[in-house]
Amino acid sequence: MDILLLHRRGLSQRQIARKLGVSRNTVKKYIEKPELPEAGRKLVQRKSLLDPYHDNIISWLDEDSDYSATWIYDRLCNFGFPGSYEIVKRRVRDLKEERQRIAYMRFETEPGYQAQVDFGEFQVENADGTIKRLYLFSMILGYSRKNYGVFVERCDLPTFLDCHINAFEYFGGVPEQILYDRMKNVYIGKLVGKSRFNDTLTGFALHYGFKPEVAPAYAAWVKGKVERPYRFIREGFWRSYGYICLETANRDLSAWLKKKDERVHGTTHEVVSLRFDRERPHLNPLPRQPFDTSYRVYRKVYKDCTVRFDGNNYGTESRDVVVQCAKSIDICCCSCINEHYATPSKVRYTRSLTSHHGERK
């Protein structure tokens, strides 16, 4: 992915190879075949004699961060550590410096470099006492603090990616990097020391030219730029808000955010909208075609020529079909769309042909 990002910035294959420390043939391979996973430099970490004792050092520093390297070295020798004191001294020094950076360092990003994303739950009490769940998608640009927010009724991956597309169009471009927390529909885990993301999100990131990053576990301060505005929306907009419907809530939220863009931000001490005017030219351009956020599933056709998907029945004339669902539902056979339905509501219908979901177009 690093190779493709540098290529989009206009660097030659020779410059990319020199910058990443890889051969020109490797750069050429990933540029010609961008679908290859993990495009970029593959680092091989050397093993250290201290690796088996790393957890011991961490636990001692958690107990008392003032423990010296000499004290830790003496304890490790009692466990059979065969290495030298210098190795221990360097490791302890690096760990202490890292803890100080975590505790005190505040970072600001360059224009157009980073955006932060959050996805949270809100609740609405209906007239009959039942609870309706809404989800707030929020994306904020790190430099200007320009914020895009929208309420949605689903928290699945297609909706999540659609929110990204709308945010990019709202900003008029795409940042270099997007920082996420460890949400299940985005982050899979660590693989050989590197963050592994959902394959669909990885393809989405390649299409729009940004690099996904994940915040460390239990480190909400890393995503402070979006965590604080999230509370800002909950306390400033949502508290005491009279909810009517989703469309009205999103319209009111958009107007409220535009009004707040004219305030002087407490951290940057500048008007958000003026700072965004300086950041906008640094965003990467949008691609010519939006990413296809629909997902495909295979379903059996029953004797009454219907298929069942998401608890609903749809009519079709073909025996072998693929259900493709995004903002609408298409029933396909041999790559041709045979039936088209509007996305249904959550009301469940019977299996009779006269009560298919959606309105045929």
CB 272 within 8 A of CB 144: yes
Q: Where are the domains of the chain?
A: 2-32, 51-104, 114-282, 295-355
CA–CA gap between residue 276 and residue 254 (Å, rounded): 16
CB atoms within 10 A of CB 347: 8
Closest CA to 241 of 124, 143, 341: 124
Mean pLDDT in residue range 126-154: 91
pTM > 0.85: no
Cross-strand pairs, 257: none
The tally of CA atoms less than 13 A away on the side-chain side of residue 205 is: 24
Q: How far apart are CA 40 and CA 1, in angstroms?
A: 6
**329 within 8 A of 358, measured Cβ to Cβ:** yes
The CATH number of 114-282, from 3.30.43.10, 3.30.750.24, 3.10.20.30, 3.30.420.10, is 3.30.420.10
pLDDT digits (tens, 9 = 90+) for 184-236: 777 777 666 677 888 888 999 999 999 998 876 545 555 544 456 567 788 78
Q: pLDDT tens digits for 79-134?
A: 888 888 999 998 888 888 776 655 444 567 889 999 999 888 888 888 888 899 99
CB-CB contact of 77 with 107 (8 Å): no
Question: pLDDT class for 44, splitting at 50, 70, 90?
Answer: low
Read off the tokens for 85: 């004191």
Question: Mean pLDDT for the chain?
Answer: 77
User: Which of 3-7, 273-277, 278-282, 319-323 shows the lowest per-residue confidence on average (mean pLDDT)?
Assistant: 319-323
